[in-house]
Structure 1
Amino acid sequence: MAKQSKAQQKTVERVMHEFKEGDLESGSGQKVKSRKQAIAIGLSEAGASNQQSPTPRKRGQSGGGATKAELYEKAKKQDVPGRSKMSKAQLQRAVG
């Protein structure tokens, strides 16, 4: 999991406190009885689940913004030999 900011930590702490006191309710209004569900609610409210991490994960350096299909089309226009067997990184170097 990504690191949480202080505000996110406080939100998760507050939600877990509500769970321990028995005051935490799910979206449908029912009391939360599962610790896992309470954690999921806390992370969701804090925006700290792995789908909502505060900073996006960086991908490999071969990306450069263009997809493999776009690079292939550029290579096709430039008539690069062997382009059909090239990886994305190889296409990028050949077009580049």
Structure 2
Amino acid sequence: MHEFKHGELKSGRAGKGGKVKSRRQAIAIALEEAGTSKYESNRRNRRNLRRTEGKEAKGRTAQQEREGKSHVGARGKRESTRAMGGRDARKTTARGRKASRARTRKSDGHTRQELYAKARRRHIEGRSKMSKRQLENALGLR
């Protein structure tokens, strides 16, 4: 209600729907965030509550941001460490690149690019929008 009265409550995905003008809508949003909506399933309510608690813990609520309590340390988000001199981490480290490369390769040794090349040779439709797993399924490797 606090955010609604101050004109900070937004509707829609990522707040793209504009400001909420209705008190009823504001209450519905609050109930959903609190995980007590009667229109959502128990599973969805639990998920919404977890998400809200996570936001509060990380300082990402509108009120916390306004009060300047939204700083998240270098471990929580890729934000600067003291050693970096205040610059935000934009590039992954060598260790991060190595780990991601290891994740892309499996025991069969196919990368997404290799699977995409195979799919192109077989003229599989929609291949450009497929993930690695979807490419594997389309090629019959799974």
Q: Give TM-score scaled by structure 2 length.
A: 0.24
Higher Cα Rg, which structure? 1
Answer 1 or 2: higher relative contact order, Cα 8 Å, separation at least 6: 1
Q: Give TM-score scaled by structure 1 length.
A: 0.35
